[in-house]
Structure 1
């Protein structure tokens, strides 16, 4: 095995890791206005990575291999990751490189009839779930080192080239596929990996990792030698990962939700806002209680009641003061005194309080068939003259209808409409307007 190359890679990685850790320590903690339950929109969640390392046709989990010896070859790749939460993301990864191995003894060659192989990994693409193991930390507010594990599914295109015991080369490139004219054999694989991230800055991470790829085939090395066994390969790498998005937002990779929650609970500004809000709520509650208070029960709040202490049942105006209704004027007819029939604003509907007067008029008319009566309708000054003239006529007709329904001959009743003319009270006051909404008997 080519242990010299492995030693060089490990040594370089350790030196880089020490340098990154030092840079991370100087970077410090980044303040952020992000909230624990504020959603992904408040973070940077996309990352683009580049990496390079060594490809090997073996895996640390062991298992059978078609060749006794393996070589370390260069590999390189790209990653695009979407962080879905503080501890989980999805990563799309691409990889290229070469794999190679050989048999060192006649026994090994006889077992497979292969002296060596070299496989061109034209492309490999996979989608994996990535778990950030150390995102939640109860000891540090913000980490500069994070550990990850990932697994997924993917496809690869590869072209093996083998040399048999007779030193005859067999190259699969251009001879793959069912029709034998494709450059690469297409095979599925399952990637499983672990890694460690070092925070260089708020934008850049340095990554070290090791991935194993379990191929769903036994032809990665161009050799079918172990019956139902499947081939595998692995990739040890280092690389840089760049966080994409607005600089004003923190990178979700490095956010510790425990620290954020602590900040929200201990934030003086937040506490001050809460206390101020409590004060405003208390003030509003007191105002509502004051508005609801009505000691004399007249329906007007004490805060606006200009005449507190009015007796129960008193009709009051909007300021809480009693309304003084003048007694309706009486008119004299040949059969006695009849009170005017009063109406509500913009209404020709008879009030029940008018029934006693109307019943008396009806009785007098039915008792003496020689008598006739004139009903004069009036209105207050609101509205147009034409409208008030019609309204006064409707009011007189309402009285006539009542009398006719009570047994008085309609021919003995005359209707007259005067609208807002001939007022008996001042139309500039509500008390006067109430008196002017009337029907008189003559």
Structure 2
């Protein structure tokens, strides 16, 4: 390799680095990116140039057709689209020379080779795997790994024999074209918001043994070569946007949480929540303690201990018991029921026990008439009224009264004793009455 050429190339790279860095730093602006703002708020395209050393050996070892390699210059360009903080797609094109000798094994029939890479082009995925200062506010060091697929065109010269123009199916091509798999790693240093300095190493694995020309001798080793390089990468796009490569999500999230406008929104939200909580407490307020909130209490100020309905108004008192003439049964206290229920209340047991005693001791018959309030359909209320009358009969029969002494009838909504337009009236209409036959 010509070391003078390599030195000149590297020197030119560093001069360009210093110049572009100064310009880029002057153009840097504050970032206004948001955590979930999308890729549109960042610069995501970058252009790179690189130069380094090409070798027919790779770091992981393996078999080779030649024992020694020469240090040769390689150079290339890259274009990358960053799809996220940790992943991007990169296209690469590079050229150079790969050569080696068997000076440590002079007995081998082939002494040396020299392969000119007309070009090697590939597409790689680039993954940012770690950073040594990620917890700092401004991230400036990234590690990355790469892998992809590419095509190389080359002309191997073996022991001075140049077969250029004899390749291809028709034997008229200057170069052999073969596919390769590039796998690499590297480290990236942030010089400015626009420029980074990259150091990388890539191994290229080929599926043939043509690269070093030993294909002509029937060798079966799969060829490979490596490229160690240094380069500059330039972020493209608007200066008002940050480079997605160097975004620190933790710092970005912290800044967003500390954003004064967001803090104001949070405080406003707290105020709205407090107002809602106060409204809920107002809805629950029950000044007279009757179990009905003031918001719905139609009879505020009910004395303590007063039984009330759903509107907070006192329930009507049960009618006073009708006197029972044990010798001449004319009627008994009305039995009331809960809404949509035919189950006897325990408070009706004393009245029914007195009626049972009269019927068992004096004989005779009694007609038990059931009624219902006006909620529901007429057919349903008729059935409900019959069920209520039968509940009374069942109680009397279970207490020793002969079944034939009790006749039951259901009248549904008929014959109300109070208005069905109010809850107080409907409570009175849910009843059973009885009369001596």
TM norm structure 2:
0.70
What's the secondary structure of 2:117's corresponding residue?
strand
Paired residues in the alignment total: 409
CA 1:421–1:192 in 2, change beyond 3 Å: closer, same or farther?
closer
> How far apart are the structure 2 equivalents of 1:285 and 1:318?
24
CA 1:381–1:279 in 2, change beyond 3 Å: closer, same or farther?
closer
Pairwise mapping of residues 313-352 of structure 1 onto structure 2 (< 5 A)? 313-325=305-317, 327=319, 330=322, 334-335=328-329, 337-352=331-346
What's the secondary structure of 2:319's corresponding residue?
coil
Residue 53 of structure 1: CA displacement? 4.5
What's the secondary structure of 1:431's corresponding residue?
helix
CA 1:251–1:299 in 2, change beyond 3 Å: closer, same or farther?
farther
* Residue segments in structure 2 that go unaligned for 5+ positions in a row: 169-174, 218-223
Q: Deviations over 1:21-71 (max 9, x none)?
A: 344234332442513xx4x95677895555455453359x99998356x55
Instruction: Indicate the residue corresponding to 2:290 in structure 1.
Output: 298
* Residue segments in structure 1 that go unaligned for 5+ positions in a row: 176-181, 225-229
What's the secondary structure of 1:21's corresponding residue?
helix
Pairwise mapping of residues 5-84 of structure 1 onto structure 2 (< 5 A)? 5-35=5-35, 38=36, 41=38, 47=44, 49-54=46-51, 56-57=53-54, 66=68, 71-72=72-73, 74-79=75-80, 81-83=82-84
Residue 367 of structure 1: CA displacement? 1.4
Q: Which moved more, 1:155-164 or 1:13-22?
A: 155-164
Q: Deviations over 1:236-277 (max 9, x none)?
A: 445555579xx9986532324465355335422222222223
Residue 99 of structure 1: CA displacement? 0.7
Pairwise mapping of residues 27-176 of structure 1 onto structure 2 (< 5 A)? 27-35=27-35, 38=36, 41=38, 47=44, 49-54=46-51, 56-57=53-54, 66=68, 71-72=72-73, 74-79=75-80, 81-83=82-84, 85=85, 88-89=86-87, 92=90, 94-100=92-98, 114=111, 117-120=114-117, 123=120, 125=122, 127-130=125-128, 133=131, 136=134, 146-152=140-146, 159=154, 161-164=156-159, 167-169=160-162
> How far apart are the structure 2 equivalents of 1:355 and 1:289?
42
Residue 440 of structure 1: CA displacement? 2.2
What's the secondary structure of 1:348's corresponding residue?
coil
> How far apart are the structure 2 equivalents of 1:287 and 1:278?
14
Instruction: Indicate the residue corresponding to 1:212 in structure 2.
Output: 201
Q: Which moved more, 1:146-155 or 1:351-360?
A: 146-155
Instruction: Indicate the residue corresponding to 2:404 in structure 1.
Output: 411
1:437 and 2:430 aligned: yes
CA 1:297–1:410 in 2, change beyond 3 Å: closer, same or farther?
same
Q: Deviations over 1:378-430 (max 9, x none)?
A: 33344444443333333222222322333323333333333333333333333
What's the secondary structure of 1:317's corresponding residue?
coil
What's the secondary structure of 1:423's corresponding residue?
coil
> Could you tell me whether the CA contact under 8 Å between 2:300 and 2:312 is conserved in 1?
yes
CA 1:289–1:46 in 2, change beyond 3 Å: closer, same or farther?
same
